[in-house]
Amino acid sequence: MRLKNRHVLGWLEASPLALVLLLFLVAPIVMIVIVSFWGATEFSIYPAFQFDNYEFLFGSPVTYRVFLATLKYAFITWALTLAIGFTVAYFLAFHVRSLTMQIALFLVCTIPFWTSNIIRMISWIPFLGRNGIANQTLISWGVIDEPLEWLLYSDFAVILAFVHLYTLFMVVPIFNTMMRIDKSLLEAARDNGASGLQTLVHVILPLTKPGIMIGTIFVVTLVMGDFITVRFMSGSQRANVGRLISNDIGLLQYPSAAATAVVLLCTVLIVIAILLRFVNIRKEL
């Protein structure tokens, strides 16, 4: 009887959070799925149950190019943020001895988040432009004879902005995981003659896998759902799935946008499922 009462009490304690998740997460997703089967004209949408939006989506070669471009942005951004994030987290966790200094340096990493994403992203435009600081500096140093056109409004600019915006989402979980590593394991590895590289590969990396996976999920999902960065940093010359959805909404084609959003959601969930096959985050944490 007492066990049953505890079970009921646990359900009652969890019910407010479950209600919030139901109203603000599950219900909107269900609505998007329903609208994805509706029909649309140039001036209106109407309830229906048809697969026209999905047929058009999967029948267009543009869809596959846009999804491949989105996956390309996600993969390159993930690789760069992982390299930078792991290096920063490693330095903070194992080379900065003072807790006060660790906190101070960690707060320095968060300074860019004191402003909005759009401001941080647009700040690159005067730096990378044809007459921007980067080109003028390279010309004055004699490195180049004329401005580099690919610095701005290109894939390079898009990926640079992504890395700038989302690296901290990789640093935080990796740093948190590294701080939980028992330092005696590192001392034992050194006492047994392991080099710094061997300690990194055989001790630190395996124990940091949960943080890497959490950071990967953050970065990949944020990049795949982004649309404003690609629009501004590519000068509207590149496209990703987010821009595809944004364009449909701008044209009041909500059913088409909903269908694209459903496919994007399924794609992200598949990517996350694949990532979770490599490590059981719940068990590791």
Characterize the bridge pairing of strands 39-40 and 45-46. Answer: antiparallel
Q: Distance (Å, rounded) from C-alpha 10 to C-alpha 8?
A: 5
Q: Which pLDDT score is estimated for 12?
A: 63
Residue 246 lies in a domain: yes
Residue 38 lies in a domain: no
User: Once rounded to an integer, what is the mean pLDDT over residues 82-95?
Assistant: 91
The DSSP string of 226-268 is --HHHHHHTTT----HHHHHHHHHHTT-HHHHHHHHHHHHHHH
Of all residues in the chain, the percent with pLDDT exceeding 90 is: 37
Q: Which pLDDT score is estimated for 252?
A: 85
Closest CA to 240 of 256, 260, 226, 261: 226
Residue 227 lies in a domain: yes
Residue 104 lies in a domain: yes
User: Once rounded to an integer, what is the mean pLDDT over residues 100-120?
Assistant: 82
Of all residues in the chain, the percent with pLDDT exceeding 70 is: 93
Q: Which of 62-76, 99-113, 251-265 is predicted with the least confidence, judged by mean pLDDT?
A: 99-113
255 or 129, which is more confident:
255
Q: Which of 75-84, 131-140, 183-192 is predicted with the least confidence, judged by mean pLDDT?
A: 183-192
Is the pLDDT at 216 greater than 90? The verdict is yes
Q: Which pLDDT score is estimated for 70?
A: 94
CA dihedral 156, 159, 160, 164 (to 10 degrees): 180
Range of the domain at 168: 62-284
Is the pLDDT at 83 greater than 90? The verdict is yes
In CATH, what number is assigned to the domain containing residue 135? 1.10.3720.10
> Using N-to-C axis directions, what is the helix angle for 205-225 and 155-166, rounded to 10°?
120
pLDDT band at 13 (very low <50, low <70, confident <90, very high): low
> What burial class does residue 215 get, using C-beta atoms within 10 Å of its C-beta: 0-12 exposed, 13-18 middle, 19+ buried?
buried
The DSSP string of 50-78 is --HHHHHHHH-HHHHHHHHHHHHHHHHHH
Dump pLDDT digits (tens) for 38-65: 988 877 888 988 999 999 999 999 999 9
Dump pLDDT digits (tens) for 133-149: 888 998 888 888 888 88
DSSP conformation class of 134: H
Q: Distance (Å, rounded) from C-alpha 223 to C-alpha 238?
A: 14
Residue 27 lies in a domain: no
**What are the C-alpha distances in Å from 157 to residues 111, 216, 220, 245?**
21, 21, 18, 22
Residue 55 lies in a domain: no
Residue 135 lies in a domain: yes
User: Once rounded to an integer, what is the mean pLDDT over residues 102-107?
Assistant: 84
Is the Cα dihedral 104, 203, 283, 25 positive or negative?
A: positive
Residue 53 lies in a domain: no
CB 80, CB 159: distance < 8 Å: yes
Closest CA to 169 of 105, 89, 241: 89
Strands (E), the chain: 39-40, 45-46
Apex 192 CA angle, 191 and 196, nearest 5: 80
**Number of structural domains the chain divides into:** 1
